[in-house]
Amino acid sequence: MSESNKPVKPQLIQPRTLKGFRDHLPETMIPREQLIQTAREVYRSFGFGPIDTPTLEYLEILTGKGSEETDRQLYKFQDHGGRDVGMRFDLTVPLARFVAQHINELGTPFKRYHIAPVWRGENTQRGRYREFMQCDFDTIGTLSVAADIETGLVINALLASIGFERFTIHINNRQVLNGLLDKLGLSDQATPVLRSLDKLAKIGEEKVIAEMVQAAGTSEEQARSVLAMAALEGSNEEILQQLRLIVAGNELGEAGVDRLEQILTGMLAGGVPAERIKLDVSIARGLDYYTGAIFETFLDDLPDIGSVCSGGRYDNLAELYTKRQLPGIGASLGLDRLLAAMEELGMISNVKTTAEVLVTYFDKNALGKYLEIAANLRAAGLNVEVYPDAKKLGQQLKYADARGFAYAIIAGEDELARDTLQIKNLTTGESTEHPIASAASALSDMINKANA
C-alpha cells in the first residue's frame, strides 16, 4: 500500500469536562444514589408521589420567575424549530406549569416529589456546580398551615434518616417581613429589599444597607429598621413576642406572626426536637416567588457550607399559567452540597461496588459452579459479583479490598469436593467454612449483624 493510500489516523480529542460540570465515578455515585433512595423513601412515607418534567421548557415559562440573577444564569438557546427554549434552573417553576396544565387530572391537594438535575450558569463554589441534582417535594392546592407544618416535618425526617443528629431548621415568614416593609412605606420596594436581606450572612450588615439604599431606594434609617428586625435574638417565644410589637397594627404582619407560632407549635407536636427549630427573621430566600413560610436547614457541625434543605410557600406562582388559584409549599434537598458536607464529616465510606460479596474464581475448571453459587446467593437477596478470570487468589482479594467488598467466597477443589465454601470477612480477615446449601443463610446473618 502506498503512503498516499494509508488510512489517516483521527486526531485524538482531549477528554475533558466543562467548567462547573463533573463526572461521577462509582465511589461518588454510590452514596449519591443511596441519598436519593433515602429521600424517595421519606417522601413516600408522607404520601408524596413521583412526577417528571422535560429538561427544556419554553423560555417564557422560565424567565422572570426566580430573580434577575437566575434569569442571567439560564442556559437558553433556539432549538431546531427556531423556538426560544431554556434548561430548567429549578424544579419549582416547571412544577407550576405542570400543575396548571394537568390540575384537572391531578385534583387537589396534590403532593409530589421530583428528583432530577437542573442547570444554572453561576460561579462554582464548594458543593455547588452548574449542573446539580435537586430533590424536591411540594404540596399544591391548599393554604392550610398543616401543609406548612408538614414541610418542616419532612425536612426533619429527611436529615435524620440520612444520618444527621445535629442540625437546625431555620424558619421565617415573608408575611412578617412584608408587614414591616408596609409599615415603613417600602411595599413597592419589597422585592429588591428582600433580595438584599437574603445576602446578610454572605456580605454583612453594612454592605446590605448600602445595597438597599442603592438598589431599592430606601433611606439608611429604613434599611437599618429592616436589619434591626432581622437581628432579633432569643428563644423562639421571645422573638415571637418582639415581632408582635414590631408589626403591631399591620394586618399582614400580625397574620404572619400568628402563622409562625402555629408552625412552631405544630412541628413540636409532630415530633421535631425543640433544639432543631429556630425562628430566624434574617432569612428571606432570594427567589421572588415566596409569599409565606420559608425554611433553611443548617448542619450544626458545618454551618458555613450553607443551607442543605431550603424552601417555602409560594401562593401566586401558578397564576401566570392559570386563573385557578393553586397555592403551594415545598422544599428541596441540596443533594450535592449535602454530599460535600458528608464527605467533610467522614460520613461516606470509600466503596466502589454495589455488591457485598465477591465470588472468587479459584479453580479454573469450576466456573459453572461459581456461577451457580452466585445465583443462589442473589436469589437470597444478596448483591454478588463473580471475578471474571482465574487469577491468583491474592490478586482477586486485592481487587475486593480496593473496591470495598465486605465478604469473599473462596472455594477450591477440596471445598467443592465436600460441597462447602469459605466465607472470608474482608474487614476482620476471619474465614469460616460452610456447606454450600446454607451459605446464603450464613452470609445474610453476618451482614445483618454487621449492619445492626
If you ran DSSP here, which 8-state letter would residue 348 be given?
A: S
CA 89: distance to chain centroid?
14
Task: With beta carbons less than 8 A apart as the criterion, state whether 337 and 308 touch.
Answer: yes
Strand duo 131-140 + 110-119: pairing: antiparallel
For residues 429 and 427, what is the distance between their CA atoms, to the nearest angstrom?
Answer: 6
Supply the DSSP string of 110-145, one letter for each residue. EEEEEEEEEE-----BTTB-SEEEEEEEEEES---H
- On the question of pLDDT at 351 being above 90, the answer is no
Higher pLDDT, 4 or 356: 356
pLDDT of residue 217: 82
pLDDT of residue 188: 81
CATH 3.30.930.10 holds for 26-344:
yes
Taking phi first (over 0 means left), then psi (-120 to 50 degrees means alpha), and beta for anything else, what does residue 372 get?
Answer: alpha
Q: What is the mean pLDDT of the chain?
A: 91
pLDDT of residue 336: 85
pLDDT tens per residue, range 228-243 = 888 888 999 999 999 9
Residue 38 binned pLDDT confidence (cut-offs 50, 70, 90): very high
The arithmetic mean of pLDDT across residues 205-216, rounded, is: 85
- On the question of pLDDT at 310 being above 70, the answer is yes
If you ran DSSP here, which 8-state letter would residue 24 be given?
A: -
pLDDT tens per residue, range 99-142 = 999 999 999 999 999 999 999 998 877 657 899 889 999 999 99
For residues 373 and 386, what is the distance between their CA atoms, to the nearest angstrom?
Answer: 9
User: Which residues face 331 on adjacent strands?
Assistant: 137, 311
For residues 147 and 134, what is the distance between their CA atoms, to the nearest angstrom?
Answer: 20
pLDDT of residue 150: 98
Determine the topology of domain 357-451 in CATH.
Answer: Rossmann fold (3.40.50)
pLDDT tens per residue, range 401-449 = 999 999 999 999 999 999 999 999 999 999 999 999 999 999 999 999 9
In three-state secondary structure terms, 28 is: helix
For residues 107 and 361, what is the distance between their CA atoms, to the nearest angstrom?
Answer: 56
pLDDT of residue 4: 63
pLDDT of residue 286: 59
Task: With beta carbons less than 8 A apart as the criterion, state whether 157 and 42 touch.
Answer: yes
The arithmetic mean of pLDDT across residues 171-187, rounded, is: 87
Supply the DSSP string of 265-279, one letter for each residue. HHHHHTT--GGGEEE
For residues 104 and 357, what is the distance between their CA atoms, to the nearest angstrom?
Answer: 49
Lowest mean pLDDT among 50-64, 210-224, 373-387: 210-224
- Domain locations along the chain: 26-344, 357-451
Quick one: what percent of the chain has pLDDT higher than 70? Answer: 97
In three-state secondary structure terms, 213 is: helix
pLDDT of residue 399: 97
Query: What does the block give as the cell for 146?
Result: 398543616
For residues 24 and 27, what is the distance between their CA atoms, to the nearest angstrom?
Answer: 8
Tell me which residue has cell 460540570.
21
Query: What does the block give as the cell for 66?
Result: 426566580
pLDDT tens per residue, range 251-292 = 999 999 999 999 999 999 999 999 999 999 888 765 567 889
- On the question of pLDDT at 171 being above 70, the answer is yes
If you ran DSSP here, which 8-state letter would residue 13 be given?
A: P
The pTM assigned to this predicted structure is 0.87
The arithmetic mean of pLDDT across residues 381-386, rounded, is: 97
